[in-house]
A = this chain, B = another copy of it.
Amino acid sequence: MKDKATVTIRDVAQHAGVSTATVSRVLSNSGPVSAEVRERVEHTIRALGYRPNRMARSFRAQRSKFIGLIISDVENPFYTSLVRAVEDVAYAHDYSLLLCNSDEDLEKERTYIQFMADERVAGVIGSPASEQETSFAALFDAGIPVVSVDRRSALTPVDTVLLDNVAAARDLTRHLIHHGHRRIGAILPNLSITSGRERLAGFLQAMEEAGLAPDPALIHEGKGIEAFGAHAARALLHLPERPTAIFTGNNLITLGALKAIQECGLRIPDDVAVAGHDEMPWMSLLAPGITVAAQPIHEMGRTAMRMLLARINGDSQPMCEVKLAPRLIIRNSVASPTPI
């Protein structure tokens, strides 16, 4: 396999009878070029089918036109939507996306962060695997701006875009309590990440304001994946005195919990009520539909990318944290508990 043509700026310069500097000036519209020469150069560019080598440009500038996106898993629909939103804004500004799945693995994440630094990317958007342990220092040292999405990062000061998790969890829990639930099971993602910690806080806050003492046996915390959601839900449902409602801390946990409830042959909302985080396209298909706190994921992604662009373009405002409001979607997965 050989490059057929690979026409460089030098070829253009020679054919047009000018210097490479002039061609460069025409290309980037920088510096003065006479109309006549400009036209001649442009004509040659077209004639030769010249296209600037982006690698060479990045190398020369010592900064590439890539945005690194480090998330836990593209297959999680939440992150999928985030990726899409980031991508739309990025491409509109001539940046492209370098995608990495950290799988919530600190080691893998560390590798990818270092990788982004080695690639001299223009900026990084990341959803840290751990609030306390993830470090963006390698990027910081290389002068590469970072925006943290969905989760905070405590070690390095970076711009952050979050959902108002406390409010979302509080509202969801209030909704359950309002329907008369007292024994509410909660299944949460890791408390070492922002969303886990804050959603627990919101849950507890709602319980407290209702004068309810949370039962530690009803609170499960673990890896925010479907298997954990199913596992924890099964545990809750097999309790001698099982909760009348289950509060789920993210979309995959909800999915797992729903499957467990189905397996146990229990009906929603009569046998057990369910309320969770994140809207999914299929949720309205279920009968009954599931009540959730929807996150403005696309807006989160767009906002993060816009903040990053501002930093890339030299904005030196103090670090800021944006918090987006959730939207409660009330369906029919919550009814009043049947008296025991």
Chain A interface residues (CB < 8 Å from chain B)? 1-6, 51-56, 58-59, 62, 64, 66, 73-75, 77, 80-81, 83-84, 87-88, 91, 96-101, 114-115, 117-120, 141-143, 145, 226, 255, 258-259, 262, 280-282, 284-287, 316
Query: Closest residue of chain B to A283, judged by CB?
Result: B282
Identify 9 residue pairs between A and B in the complex whose beta-carbon atoms are under 8 Å apart, listed by A's number.
A4-B141, A6-B142, A53-B120, A55-B58, A73-B84, A77-B80, A80-B80, A255-B285, A286-B286
Determine if A118 and B80 form an interchain contact, defined as CB atoms under 8 angstroms apart. Answer: no
The CA of A119 and the CA of B56, in the complex, are separated in Å by: 9
How far apart are A329's CB and chain B's nearest CB, in angstroms? 15
Determine if B5 and A141 form an interchain contact, defined as CB atoms under 8 angstroms apart. Answer: yes
Inter-chain contacts of A280 with B (CB < 8 A): 282
Determine if B74 and A1 form an interchain contact, defined as CB atoms under 8 angstroms apart. Answer: no
The CA of A54 and the CA of B55, in the complex, are separated in Å by: 11
Determine if B226 and A281 form an interchain contact, defined as CB atoms under 8 angstroms apart. Answer: yes
Query: Closest residue of chain B to A314, judged by CB?
Result: B1
Inter-chain contacts of A97 with B (CB < 8 A): 98-100
Task: Choose among A73, A87, A99, A287 the residue with the greatest number of B CB atoms under 10 Å from its CB.
Answer: A99
Determine if A87 and B74 form an interchain contact, defined as CB atoms under 8 angstroms apart. Answer: yes
Determine if B64 and A74 form an interchain contact, defined as CB atoms under 8 angstroms apart. Answer: no
The CA of A62 and the CA of B59, in the complex, are separated in Å by: 11
Q: Which one of B1, B118, B282 contacts A52 once the chains associate, using CB atoms below 8 Å?
A: B118
Inter-chain contacts of A1 with B (CB < 8 A): 143, 145, 316
Determine if A83 and B99 form an interchain contact, defined as CB atoms under 8 angstroms apart. Answer: yes
Determine if A84 and B98 form an interchain contact, defined as CB atoms under 8 angstroms apart. Answer: no
Determine if B55 and A119 form an interchain contact, defined as CB atoms under 8 angstroms apart. Answer: yes
Query: Closest residue of chain B to A316, judged by CB?
Result: B1
Task: Choose among A3, A4, A262, A281 the residue with the greatest number of B CB atoms under 10 Å from its CB.
Answer: A281
Inter-chain contacts of A80 with B (CB < 8 A): 74-75, 77, 80
Inter-chain contacts of A64 with B (CB < 8 A): 55
The CA of A100 and the CA of B91, in the complex, are separated in Å by: 9
Task: Choose among A97, A280, A282 the residue with the greatest number of B CB atoms under 10 Å from its CB.
Answer: A282
Inter-chain contacts of A51 with B (CB < 8 A): 114, 117-118
Known contacts A59-B56, A141-B4, A282-B255, A84 near B101 by CB under 8 Å: yes
Determine if B87 and A83 form an interchain contact, defined as CB atoms under 8 angstroms apart. Answer: no
Query: Closest residue of chain B to A65, judged by CB?
Result: B119
How far apart are A145's CB and chain B's nearest CB, in angstroms? 7
Query: Closest residue of chain B to A284, judged by CB?
Result: B259
Determine if B285 and A259 form an interchain contact, defined as CB atoms under 8 angstroms apart. Answer: yes
Inter-chain contacts of A285 with B (CB < 8 A): 255, 258-259, 262, 282, 286
Known contacts A98-B97, A143-B1, A287 near B287 by CB under 8 Å: yes
The CA of A282 and the CA of B281, in the complex, are separated in Å by: 10
Q: Which 5 residue pairs of A and B lie closest in terms of their CB atoms, listed nearest first? A: A1-B143, A59-B59, A282-B282, A4-B141, A54-B118
The CA of A262 and the CA of B287, in the complex, are separated in Å by: 10
Known contacts A73-B84, A282-B282, A2 near B99 by CB under 8 Å: no
Task: Choose among A53, A91, A101, A285 the residue with the greatest number of B CB atoms under 10 Å from its CB.
Answer: A285
How far apart are A127's CB and chain B's nearest CB, in angstroms? 16
